[in-house]
Amino acid sequence: MKLLLLCLGLILVHAHEEENDVVKGNFDISKISGDWYSILLASDIKEKIEENGSMRVFVKDIEVLSNSSLIFTMHTKVNGKCTKISLICNKTEKDGEYDVVYDGYNLFRIIETAYEDYIIFHLNNVNQEQEFQLMELYGRKPDVSSKVKEKFVRYCQGMEIPKENILDLTQVDRCLQARQSEAAQVSSAE
């Protein structure tokens, strides 16, 4: 009985510690630098994130510059081939908010993060054709827990993005081979 109570206590302490790691404001941007993987992608205009959609990109890493701007290194598929792109995103006056021009004007913000595990972004895009919103879930590893994915789904529903417009990118080619070959080229050059 004592062992059972001890196990239950440890589980509760661990669950409480995990929730304490979640940051929803006053972000330490330096902690988002490093490698990331695209996990889930959602939009109220699904065509933007479907295969050959302009916003179907796969993050490789995020670099924080000295002026707090961010450089996102990503891959996108062009004619079936993984192509590397880099986007410089400028910090706005608001905490965790950035803008960038890519397929129109984009204003995005960090919804929440557990720096060592995942980050969730919400983006609004305005271009001549239409306005749309996008949600992104990135993980430090190629996948995240179902609990984090469920949280992302709830955020999407709160933004009125239907569940059928959420794509699980862990089930598609995310250009991981291109990412690995780039890393091999860098290490062989050193």
188: its two tokens: 């062989």
Residue carrying structure tokens 């054709």: 129
pLDDT digits (tens, 9 = 90+) for 150-170: 999 999 999 999 999 999 999
Task: Tell me what pLDDT residue 16 has.
Answer: 41
Burial class (CB in 10 A: 0-12, 13-18, 19+), 127: middle
Nearest in space to 154 (alpha carbons), one of 103, 111, 115: 111
Task: Tell me what pLDDT residue 29 has.
Answer: 96
Task: Tell me what pLDDT residue 19 has.
Answer: 57
Which DSSP state fits 41?
E
Residues of the chain with pLDDT under 70: 1-20, 182-190
- Alpha carbon separation from 149 to 41, 108, 139, 145 (Å, rounded): 11, 20, 10, 7
